[in-house]
Amino acid sequence: MDFLQKILNTDISPFLINFYENITIEMMVKFFIIYFFIIWIATFIWVIRDIWNRTTSVLLQIFCILIILLGTPLGIFLYLFVRPGKTLFEKYYDEIEDNLDTFSWIVEEKTSKLWTKKQCPSCELPVSHDFQFCPHCTTKLVENCIKCDKILSTNWVNCPYCWTKQEEKKDIEKESNKSEKNKKTAK
């Protein structure tokens, strides 16, 4: 118990005073040199990790590491200027985003073609969407809209562009035939 009592009774203030008295300029310089080296090593490690994430080019990686090695921690400003703007992950993500647009466009294109898969109205064999004639039975597969002249499938009732009923064409043809016949009989 004597020992404990001694410790409790000791006044530590003289030690503190001594400590402050012992701080010399030499100590402060040493402290700042050590501090500087710690910052340098930390910057160096950070740059190695950062450049690894930003480029696969070994030359650029070595160059950036040299910037910090030779430029001390202040080289970080040059490094931030030289390094690629985007990390490899960001680049990869951007690429995926771009490809997604193309991919969804392809899917849309494919599904729309599936939905409008065409059959020859005469022989019922599959024909391509842009065929003008059936390659199997030579039936004409398209005709022009009687109003807007766009190319339509022969089995469409209405024109999808101007919504004109295409059966009228046959009626018009019949009428014109009739009128021609009438003319002929009139003559």
Q: Smallest Cα–Cα separation from 167: which of 176, 178, 158, 179?
A: 158
Helix, strand, coil shares of the chain as percentages rounded to 5?
65, 5, 30
Rounded Cα distance, 180 and 20, in Å: 123
Please check whether residue 49 is in contact with residue 64, taking contact to mean a CB–CB distance below 8 angstroms.
no
Number of residues lying near Zn ion (CB under 5 A): 14
Q: Is 162 in the site for Zn ion (CB under 5 A)?
A: yes
Residues in CB range of 86: below 8 A, 6 or more apart: 54, 94
To the nearest whole angstrom, how small is the minimum distance from the Cβ of residue 149 to Zn ion? Answer: 7
Nearer to Zn ion, 91 or 169 (CB): 169
Q: By CB under 5 A, name the one of 31, 37, 77, 161 that touches Zn ion.
A: 161
Q: Which stretch binds Zn ion (CB under 5 A): 11-19, 46-54, 88-96, 144-152?
A: 144-152
Q: By CB under 5 A, name the one of 54, 76, 134, 166 that touches Zn ion.
A: 134
To the nearest whole angstrom, how small is the minimum distance from the Cβ of residue 124 to Zn ion? Answer: 7
To the nearest whole angstrom, how small is the minimum distance from the Cβ of residue 165 to Zn ion? Answer: 10
Q: Is 141 in the site for Zn ion (CB under 5 A)?
A: no
Rounded Cα distance, 31 and 36, in Å: 9
Give the interface with Zn ion as residue ranges (CB under 5 A). 120, 122-123, 134, 136-137, 139, 145, 147-148, 159, 161-162, 164
